[in-house]
Amino acid sequence: MDAHILYHKHPAGRVSSYIQILETRMTDKGHADKWEFYQDHNVKHHKWRWRRTAPNGRIVGASTQGYVDRDECIENAVRNGYVKDAG
C-alpha cells in the first residue's frame, strides 16, 4: 500500500496543533481518502482524534471521542476503515 505522509501546522497557528495527514488508497470503490490524526485544541487535554476526508473535500468520518494515546486513536480508525501501512 502506498501512503503519503504530510505534516503541516494548523492554519490558526495554535501551539501543539500539528496535523499528520495520511493518504491511503481504499479498496472499496478505489477512492483515495485522506485520514488525519491530530490533537484537539482543548487547553487541558490535547487528546488525539481522527477524521476521514473524501477526494471531493467532504468529511465522511470522524472520531466521536478523544484519545489520550495516539495508538488507541489509530486502532479506532482501523475499526472504521483505516488501513495501516505494513511498512
CA–CA dist 44, 42 (Å, integer): 6
What parts of the chain have a pLDDT lower than 50? 1-27, 29-30
Domain residue extents for the chain: 3-79
What residues are paired with 19 via a beta bridge?
A: 8, 38
Q: Which pLDDT belongs to residue 44?
A: 82
Give yes or no for a contact between 56 and 47, defined as CB atoms under 8 angstroms apart: no
Q: Is the pTM of this model over 0.85?
A: no
pLDDT of residue 87: 54
Residues in Cβ contact with 55 at an 8 Å cutoff, skipping those fewer than 6 apart: 31, 32, 33
On whether the CB atoms of residues 54 and 31 are closer than 8 A, the answer is yes
Taking residue 69's Cβ as centre, other Cβ atoms within 10 Å add up to: 10
